[in-house]
Amino acid sequence: EVQLVESGGGLVQPGGSLRLSCVASGFTFSNSWMSWVRQAPGRGLEWVANIKQDGSEEYYADSVKGRFTISRENAKMSVHLQMTSLRAEDTAVYFCAREEEVGRQWLSYGTYRYFYAVDVWGQGTTVTVSS
């Protein structure tokens, strides 16, 4: 069974740090982009960061750039989110997610267009930033 299990959430004071982890199972982890997506209480989904299969590329939402770092350990089938300088607005459920190539479209000029989407989600871990 394909599964993602997050851990590391909790209560932290403003300005503090927290490290989230996500362990994958049931698929070839090293073949997949991995992402973190968060959802503040009663709010919508916010994409946070993602990391390429070999860890050579990382991308971040502007709201967390410079404060959060995504990393991965393919041998341990895990991805992490190091969060520093936490703010009240970082309070959310954080979902670990697999971003997979879900399809491709043949283009008339002899190449493909590749489509990526989150097709597997963890159950989420809650981060609360409060004094």
Partner 1 sequence: DIQMTQSPSSLSAFVGDRVTIACRASQSITNYLNWYRQKPGKAPQLLIYGASTLQSGVPSRFSGSGSGTDFTLTISSLQPEDFATYYCQQSHSAPRTFGQGTNLEIK
Residues that bind partner 1 (CB under 8 A): 35, 44-47, 50, 59-62, 95, 99, 102-103, 105, 113, 115-119, 121-124
- Shortest distance in whole angstroms from residue 19 CB to partner 1: 21
Minimum CB distance to partner 1, residue 61 (Å): 5
Which residue's CB is nearer to partner 1, number 86 or number 118?
118
Nearer to partner 1, 85 or 123 (CB): 123
CB of 46 to partner 1, least distance (A): 7
Handedness of CA 74, 129, 89, 66 (dihedral sign): negative
- Residue with token string 């493909």: 112
Paired tokens of 71: 């990393």
Interatomic CA distance for residues 33 and 55, integer angstroms: 9
Nearest Cα neighbor of 115 from 103, 107, 106, 127 is 103
